């Protein structure tokens, strides 16, 4: 689905879900070079407060990009800005539910402010706000 600027209204919301796999974490580490052992080494992670490997925060934040780029507003939109707050760890096997909601619209500039939230089991794990340009 794709929304034109004229289709957007404050409060409009879309959601996607993704199960985080070990393969996702490995691929993210390979692509980005972030090989922090807290993500990749179960023995190391066991010595941390998390007690087991966690997904990269930016992998989880990537689900926000997916929701914006494929659902709301969808293909063709341009990401301008994103704030993020990492509130809780995401473990391998978790289902991340990402919700993006139109918060403000600027008709003159064809831009939208989007509230972005990732949940695991109803708990907020990443929160933020995005600025998007809609062609």
- What's the confidence (pLDDT) of residue 2? 84
Domains in the chain, start-ordered, CATH in brackets? 5-133 (3.10.129.10)
Span 44-78, pLDDT tens digits:
999 999 999 999 999 999 999 999 999 999 999 99
Cα 50–Cα 84–Cα 91 angle in degrees, nearest 5: 25
Listing DSSP states for the chain in one string gives ----GGG--TT-EEEEEEE--HHHHHHHHHHH----HHHH-HHHHHTSTT-S-B--HHHHHHHHHHHHHHTSS-TT-EEEEEEEEE-S--BTTPEEEEEEEEEEEETTTTEEEEEEEEEETTEEEEEEEEEEE--
- Percent of the chain surpassing pLDDT 90: 98
What pTM did the predictor assign? 0.94
Q: 106 is written with which tokens?
A: 């600027």
């Amino acid at each position: 689905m794709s929304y034109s600027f004229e289709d957007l209204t404050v409060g409009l919301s879309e959601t996607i879900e993704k199960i985080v796999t070990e393969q996702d974490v490995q691929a993210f580490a390979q692509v980005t070079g972030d090989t922090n052992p807290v993500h990749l080494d179960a023995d190391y992670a066991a010595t941390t407060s998390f007690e087991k490997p966690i997904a990269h925060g930016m992998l989880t934040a990537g689900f926000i990009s997916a929701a914006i780029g494929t659902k709301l507003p969808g293909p063709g939109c341009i990401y301008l800005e994103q704030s993020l707050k990492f509130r809780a760890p995401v473990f391998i096997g978790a289902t991340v539910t990402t919700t993006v909601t139109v918060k403000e619209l600027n008709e003159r500039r064809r831009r939208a402010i989007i509230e972005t939230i990732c949940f695991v089991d109803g708990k907020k794990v990443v929160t933020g706000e995005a600025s998007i340009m809609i062609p």
